């Protein structure tokens, strides 16, 4: 008897598959994109995939029902990652704007010199 994810009701395994797809697509985007904006979008996809997995692992369904406590561990970690991603996006946007002012492009391969 095989378990088909498409015919089962939505459960934790569905969320984990979507989180894994987001994580892998973000890692591929970070590795293949040549401009800074594409790399930043890949980082955001990786963080969102990790957040989805944190929330899925923190669900009460996975823990076997209510065994005391509220079960907000995954949600709290996801909130921390969202705050971290917002700070990362602000700093990365400032770096990208400075890079564009210096090189007139956002192609990360063009920035190969160090200035002190």
Q: Which residue has the higher pLDDT, 100 or 66?
A: 100
**Does residue 40 fall inside a structural domain?**
yes
pLDDT, tens only, 42-98:
999 999 999 999 888 887 666 665 555 566 778 888 899 999 989 988 998 898 888
Tell me how far apart the alpha carbons of residues 107 and 35 are, in angstroms, rounded to a whole number.
4
Q: What is the CATH number of the domain that holds 23?
A: 1.10.287.3510
What does pTM read for this prediction?
A: 0.74
Q: Which residue has the higher pLDDT, 22 or 67?
A: 22
Least confident among 31-35, 89-93, 104-108, 111-115: 111-115
Domain that includes residue 22, residue range: 12-64+71-107
- Domain tally for the chain? 1
């Amino acid at each position: 008897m095989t378990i088909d994810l498409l015919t089962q009701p939505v459960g934790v395994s569905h969320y984990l598959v979507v989180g894994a797809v987001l994580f892998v697509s973000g890692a591929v985007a970070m590795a293949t994109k040549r401009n800074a904006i594409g790399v930043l979008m890949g980082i955001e996809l990786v963080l969102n995939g990790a957040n989805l997995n944190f929330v899925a692992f923190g669900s009460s369904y996975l823990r076997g029902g209510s065994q005391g406590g509220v079960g907000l561990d995954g949600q709290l970690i996801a909130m921390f990652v969202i705050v971290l991603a917002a700070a990362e996006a602000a700093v990365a946007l400032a770096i990208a704007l400075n890079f564009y002012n210096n090189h007139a492009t956002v192609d990360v391969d063009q920035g190969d010199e160090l200035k002190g």
